């Protein structure tokens, strides 16, 4: 066994405490004892014992051995505790604000850590290469995935790679007894088990290669169906195409580690999904991950991937303008080039950076609080420091006393912060959509950061007041009119900074909230909450030839009374087809299209800007374009001309344009309104049904629809979504961010105000004589409040001057990412300040109210 040594830092501390004469020998003894202990009862006990030695050293009275340092430390600690207890209001304000700031910082640390560690748990790590095809032509670029045969072909012919896994993720219906589940299925290849680190709890991966109809369940899925039982050998049926196919359960995975891009409920062979496309080189929809052979240098393989893959491009009709690229799975989450349809949505570095920045700002506010309050508190400690100085205390000793006090407070705050963070973890997880299971207490970086934090806070918050106070001559300290009680410019400038940060965060919150509301409200048709979307694509036999079931479904629904209108569409309105053509300015732009039934306009409550359905005969086909398309692509009049001619591109259909409609899409508005046209057609291979329900009968009608659905489609689960939910979910990211910024603004304001609370209290006590005289002379509550808040108001006004320009610049930059954005109205800034000032004034008001209840005579009689 390797010899264990005591922790380096502990050794250093202990050595510093021991008298130099015996230091070497004693340290040797300590180490010998440590080794003995760790052999006998394990490392932890030995560590504890070692720490006990240090604690014993601090608390012991052996002057000769411990250089007398121990007594000193002990006295400092006792005095500090007494001081902290005596000024318990300030202590608790400081402790709370610091603890909250630290809680926030710890949570942010957890978040950043999961982001960085995303997909890092795979042992093969950077040898896992995701393949994308980049199509670049004429200033337009797009990413595709790869073809089904590419993986096997490359592994066969190139020495660089020795394994492949196609990762096809689809929603499918799983049947167990009579229960139907909608689950996400990963279709993949046998190398999957070799390449990725997803260990099996039960079963072995061998069967995957041998048998076609086997499935591997995720831990949670197995738990959902079978509980704690071992399900190996059980049978489940999976709907593939129109049929249910029986699979044997061959294994169950261990729970997936948090932070994985690959998510699934169940794993089966890719063949089930690829089917006819197995040798199809023109179908570019298959996500592919390759394993770089262990004897190949990783970097050069990535670099030369283009050459390796080039031969396979010839067979591709887009080959001329396309390059294959590969990136490692590990870098996918933060540095994605392309969102793989079967992987979790990638993130970026921005959220981590923004969160870290906010955490640092909040910490700074808390640190400023401490400085301000301890500066204020020093007023009470003039006498103490004066007496100490007169008794011969050196400056160093007084500084040390202050440092020990701060140290104790900061350590206490860190302890509280850890506790709070643990409690707030579930809420934070919900907020950021991550699943952080526990605080990473074993992470050394966290403790290093804590140490830095302690040094920073102790240095800044304890150091400055200590230095200030110890500098003053003792005689001045006894004199109440010492210059120290005067202007306190330093405190004030810190407070300016503090409120500037708060106001900045409030401004940002207001802007983000408004932008978010603007996007959600202004660009969708009205009454989305009455329309539901029903996906029937899983029903199998859609299409005009066999579309019996979909027609029957529609026919039966038409008899239900509460339904106002319904229409089939070819694609879900959030996922339309896209084409790229040149617009009127000669730039490449995107046009989306969809095929709908003519009742679609009534269902979605779309009002025509020009033209309309009136001239359209039954079963006649026509095209309706959005305003945006008209504006961007059409010169002159568009109505009643064929689309082909209007767009000057023969790839489009020749149907005439019968009307112009307002912007209509549920796609991500971040990129602006998309030019779109709707082709009205009576027949198509429709996949989705939209139903507008009478607002008063939504509940009963829904259950009727469910009944009809189940009678016609007994093999699929009835699934519907309200359109406003779909709209909201496409803004999930924005909603989440506005919520996070809102919370941090509240935290910042709370901490700043708790600082203000403390400072007001101090001012009231310092000026109690003055205020009492004023009151005796007839000043009322309002005058007193005025006198007290005047100083603070000036501070708040100055901080506005700092916060407004910063907020303006930062928010302008933020809004630039949105093509549809609000303009930054001027009143947002005063509004933010008004919020801050109102809360600050209330804080002061509460204090003043309490102060004026004391009889002024009491204060004047004092001394």
Partner 1 sequence: MKLLSRIEEIILVSIWRLGDNAYGMPIRDEVIQATGKDWLLGAIYGPLGRLHKNGYIDPIKGEPTAERGGRAKVFYTLTPIGMKALEEIQRVNSYLWQNIPDFSTNGSHS
Q: Which stretch binds partner 1 (CB under 8 A): 51-59, 636-644, 681-689, 802-810?
A: 51-59
Q: Which of 2, 3, 585, 813 binds partner 1 (CB under 8 A)?
A: 3
Residue that has been written with the tokens 């009889």 in this structure:
855
State phi, psi for 498 to the nearest 5 degrees: -60, -50
CB of 9 to partner 1, least distance (A): 15
Question: For partner 1, which is the closer residue by CB, 71 or 237?
Answer: 71
- Nearest residue to 403 (alpha-carbon basis) of 442, 331, 460, 468: 460
If one asks whether residue 57 binds partner 1 (CB under 8 A), the answer comes out as yes
Question: For partner 1, which is the closer residue by CB, 33 or 184?
Answer: 33
CB of 39 to partner 1, least distance (A): 11
Cα 155 to Cα 308: distance, rounded to the nearest angstrom = 11
The set of residues, in sequence order, having a beta carbon less than 8 Å from that of 192 and lying 6+ positions away, is: 165, 198, 208, 267
Q: Which stretch binds partner 1 (CB under 8 A): 63-71, 414-422, 452-460, 769-777?
A: 63-71
If one asks whether residue 858 binds partner 1 (CB under 8 A), the answer comes out as no
Question: For partner 1, which is the closer residue by CB, 18 or 252?
Answer: 18
The residues facing 626 across adjacent strands are 661
- Nearest residue to 111 (alpha-carbon basis) of 413, 427, 369, 397: 427
Q: Which stretch binds partner 1 (CB under 8 A): 59-67, 124-132, 179-187, 498-506?
A: 59-67
CB of 46 to partner 1, least distance (A): 13
- Nearest residue to 495 (alpha-carbon basis) of 832, 798, 742: 798
Q: Are strands 322-328 and 128-137 parallel, antiparallel or unpaired?
A: antiparallel
Question: For partner 1, which is the closer residue by CB, 37 or 146?
Answer: 37
Q: Which of 13, 35, 245, 298 binds partner 1 (CB under 8 A)?
A: 35
Residues 456-485 that bind partner 1 (CB under 8 A): none
The residues facing 534 across adjacent strands are 689, 720
Question: For partner 1, which is the closer residue by CB, 49 or 571?
Answer: 49
Burial of 522 (C-beta count, 10 Å sphere; 0-12/13-18/19+): exposed
Length of the chain: 863
Within 10 Å of residue 478's Cβ, how many Cβ atoms?
Answer: 14
CB of 38 to partner 1, least distance (A): 12
Question: For partner 1, which is the closer residue by CB, 5 or 86?
Answer: 5
Strand runs labelled E in 79-151? 128-137, 140-144
If one asks whether residue 441 binds partner 1 (CB under 8 A), the answer comes out as no
CB of 2 to partner 1, least distance (A): 13
CB of 41 to partner 1, least distance (A): 14
Q: Which of 51, 60, 556, 571 binds partner 1 (CB under 8 A)?
A: 60
CB of 93 to partner 1, least distance (A): 38
Answer for the pair 663, 523: CB distance below 8 angstroms, yes or no. Answer: yes
Q: Which stretch binds partner 1 (CB under 8 A): 58-66, 112-120, 629-637, 639-647?
A: 58-66
DSSP annotation string for 224-258: HHHTTS--TT-EEEEEETTEEEEEEEEEEEPPPPS
Within 10 Å of residue 805's Cβ, how many Cβ atoms?
Answer: 12
The residues facing 217 across adjacent strands are 252, 266
Question: For partner 1, which is the closer residue by CB, 56 or 311?
Answer: 56
Distance of CA 333 to the CA centre of its chain: 13
Q: Which of 65, 176, 226, 720 binds partner 1 (CB under 8 A)?
A: 65
Q: Which of 37, 38, 46, 66 binds partner 1 (CB under 8 A)?
A: 66
CB of 408 to partner 1, least distance (A): 23
DSSP annotation string for 691-711: EEE-GGGHHHHHHHHHHHHHH
3-state secondary structure of 764: helix
CB of 17 to partner 1, least distance (A): 9
If one asks whether residue 73 binds partner 1 (CB under 8 A), the answer comes out as no
Question: For partner 1, which is the closer residue by CB, 34 or 504?
Answer: 34
Token representation of residue 493: 């400038």
Question: For partner 1, which is the closer residue by CB, 54 or 860?
Answer: 54
CB of 29 to partner 1, least distance (A): 4
Question: For partner 1, which is the closer residue by CB, 28 or 780?
Answer: 28
Distance of CA 839 to the CA centre of its chain: 29
Residues 11-30 that bind partner 1 (CB under 8 A): 18-19, 21-22, 24-30
If one asks whether residue 5 binds partner 1 (CB under 8 A), the answer comes out as yes
Question: For partner 1, which is the closer residue by CB, 62 or 141?
Answer: 62
Cα 385 to Cα 395: distance, rounded to the nearest angstrom = 10
Number of chain positions touching partner 1 (CB under 8 A):
27
Answer for the pair 509, 741: CB distance below 8 angstroms, yes or no. Answer: yes
Cα 806 to Cα 811: distance, rounded to the nearest angstrom = 8
Question: For partner 1, which is the closer residue by CB, 8 or 813?
Answer: 8
Distance of CA 709 to the CA centre of its chain: 38
Report angle CA 789, 791, 792 to the nearest 5 degrees: 65
The residues facing 200 across adjacent strands are 253
Residues 266-285 that bind partner 1 (CB under 8 A): none
Question: For partner 1, which is the closer residue by CB, 22 or 345?
Answer: 22
Answer for the pair 63, 71: CB distance below 8 angstroms, yes or no. Answer: yes
Question: For partner 1, which is the closer residue by CB, 51 or 431?
Answer: 51
If one asks whether residue 56 binds partner 1 (CB under 8 A), the answer comes out as yes
CB of 802 to partner 1, least distance (A): 53
If one asks whether residue 31 binds partner 1 (CB under 8 A), the answer comes out as yes
CB of 255 to partner 1, least distance (A): 43
CB of 407 to partner 1, least distance (A): 22
Residue that has been written with the tokens 């019968």 in this structure:
658
Query: How far, CA to CA in Å, does 735 sit from each of 104, 516, 731, 791?
Result: 19, 7, 6, 38
If one asks whether residue 32 binds partner 1 (CB under 8 A), the answer comes out as yes
Question: For partner 1, which is the closer residue by CB, 17 or 844?
Answer: 17
The set of residues, in sequence order, having a beta carbon less than 8 Å from that of 395 and lying 6+ positions away, is: 470, 471
Question: For partner 1, which is the closer residue by CB, 28 or 42?
Answer: 28
Residue that has been written with the tokens 């070799």 in this structure:
194
Alpha-helical segments (H) within 250-348: 271-274, 298-303, 305-313
CB of 403 to partner 1, least distance (A): 24
Residues 198-257 that bind partner 1 (CB under 8 A): none
CB of 16 to partner 1, least distance (A): 13
If one asks whether residue 769 binds partner 1 (CB under 8 A), the answer comes out as no
Q: Which of 37, 38, 46, 53 binds partner 1 (CB under 8 A)?
A: 53
Footprint of partner 1 (CB under 8 A): 3, 5, 18-19, 21-22, 24-33, 35, 52-53, 56-57, 60, 62-66
């Amino acid at each position: 066994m390797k010899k264990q040594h005591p922790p380096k830092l502990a050794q250093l501390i202990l050595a510093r405490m021991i008298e130099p004469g015996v230091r070497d020998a004693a340290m040797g003894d300590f180490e010998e004892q440590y080794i003995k202990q760790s052999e006998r009862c394990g490392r932890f006990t030995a560590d504890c014992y070692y720490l006990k030695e240090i604690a014993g050293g601090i608390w012991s009275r052996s002057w000769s051995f411990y250089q007398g340092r121990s007594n000193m430390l002990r006295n400092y600690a006792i005095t500090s505790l007494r001081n902290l207890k005596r000024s318990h209001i300030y202590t608790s304000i400081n402790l709370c604000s610091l603890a909250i700031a630290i809680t926030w910082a710890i949570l942010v640390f957890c978040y950043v850590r999961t982001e960085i560690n995303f997909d890092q748990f795979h042992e093969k790590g950077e040898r896992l290469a995701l393949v994308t095809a980049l199509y670049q032509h004429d200033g337009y670029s797009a990413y595709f995935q790869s073809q089904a045969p590419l993986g096997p072909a490359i592994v066969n012919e190139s020495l660089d790679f020795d394994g492949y896994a196609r990762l096809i993720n689809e929603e499918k219906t799983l049947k167990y007894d009579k229960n139907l589940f909608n689950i996400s299925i990963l279709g993949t290849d046998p190398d999957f088990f070799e390449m990725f680190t997803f260990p099996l709890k039960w079963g072995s991966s061998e069967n995957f290669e041998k048998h076609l109809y086997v499935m591997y369940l995720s831990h949670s899925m197995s738990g959902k169906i079978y509980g704690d039982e071992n399900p190996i050998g059980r049978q489940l049926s999976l709907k593939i195409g129109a049929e249910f196919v029986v699979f044997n359960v061959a294994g169950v995975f261990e729970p997936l580690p948090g932070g994985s891009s690959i998510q699934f409920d169940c794993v089966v062979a890719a063949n089930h999904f690829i089917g006819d496309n197995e040798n199809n080189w023109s179908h570019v929809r298959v996500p592919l991950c390759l394993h770089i052979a262990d004897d190949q240098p990783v970097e050069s393989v990535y670099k030369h991937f283009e050459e390796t893959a080039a031969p396979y491009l010839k067979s591709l009709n887009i080959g001329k303008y396309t390059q294959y690229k590969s990136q490692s799975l590990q870098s996918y989450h933060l540095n994605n080039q392309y969102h793989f349809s079967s992987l979790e949505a990638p993130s970026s570095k921005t959220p981590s950076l923004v969160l870290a920045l906010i955490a640092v700002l909040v910490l700074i506010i808390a640190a400023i609080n401490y400085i301000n309050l301890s500066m204020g508190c020093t007023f009470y400690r003039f006498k103490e420091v004066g007496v100490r100085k007169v008794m011969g205390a050196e400056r160093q000793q007084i500084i040390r006393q202050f440092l020990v006090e701060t140290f104790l407070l900061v350590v206490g705050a860190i302890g509280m912060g850890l506790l709070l963070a643990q409690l707030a973890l579930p809420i934070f997880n919900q907020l950021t959509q991550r699943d952080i299971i526990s605080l990473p207490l074993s992470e050394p970086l966290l403790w290093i950061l804590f140490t830095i934090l302690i040094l920073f806070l102790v240095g800044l918050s304890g150091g400055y007041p200590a230095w200030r106070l110890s500098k003053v001559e003792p005689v001045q300290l006894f004199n109440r009119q010492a210059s120290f009680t005067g202007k306190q410019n330093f405190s004030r400038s810190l407070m300016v900074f503090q409120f500037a940060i708060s106001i900045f965060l409030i401004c940002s919150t207001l802007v983000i909230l408004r932008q978010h509301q603007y996007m959600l409200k202004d660009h969708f048709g009205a009454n989305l909450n009455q329309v539901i979307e029903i996906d029937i694509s899983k029903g199998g036999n859609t299409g005009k030839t066999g579309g019996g079931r979909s027609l029957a479904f529609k026919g039966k629904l038409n008899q239900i009374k509460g339904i106002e209108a319904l229409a089939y569409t070819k694609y879900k309105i959030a996922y339309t087809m896209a084409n790229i053509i040149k617009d009127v300015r000669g730039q490449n732009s995107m046009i989306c299209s969809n095929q709908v039934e003519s009742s679609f306009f009534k269902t979605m409550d779309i009002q025509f800007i020009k033209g309309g359905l009136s001239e359209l005969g039954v079963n006649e086909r026509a095209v309706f374009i959005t305003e945006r398309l008209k504006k961007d692509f059409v010169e002159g009049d568009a109505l009643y001309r064929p689309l082909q001619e209007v767009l000057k591109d023969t790839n489009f259909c020749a149907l005439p344009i019968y009307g112009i409609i307002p912007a209509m899409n549920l796609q991500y508005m971040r990129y602006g309104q998309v030019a779109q046209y709707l082709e009205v057609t009576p027949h198509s291979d429709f996949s989705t049904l939209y139903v507008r329900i009478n607002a008063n009968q939504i509940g009963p009608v829904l259950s009727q629809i469910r009944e009809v659905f189940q009678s016609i489609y007994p093999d699929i689960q009835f699934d519907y979504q309200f359109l406003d939910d779909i709209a909201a979910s496409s803004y999930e990211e924005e909603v989440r961010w506005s919520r996070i910024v809102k919370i941090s603004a509240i935290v910042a304001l709370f901490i700043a105000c708790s600082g203000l609370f403390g400072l007001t209290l101090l001012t009231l006590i310092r000026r109690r004589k003055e205020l009492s005289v004023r009151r005796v002379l007839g000043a009322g509550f309002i005058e007193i409040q005025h006198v007290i808040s005047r100083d603070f108001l000036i501070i708040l006004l100055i901080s506005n001057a700092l916060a407004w320009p910063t907020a303006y610049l930062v928010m302008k930059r933020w809004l630039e990412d949105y093509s549809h954005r609000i303009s930054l109205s001027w009143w947002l800034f005063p509004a933010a300040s008004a919020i801050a000032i109102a809360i600050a004034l209330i804080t002061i008001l509460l204090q003043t109210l309490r102060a004026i209840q004391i009889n002024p005579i009491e204060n004047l009689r004092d001394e």
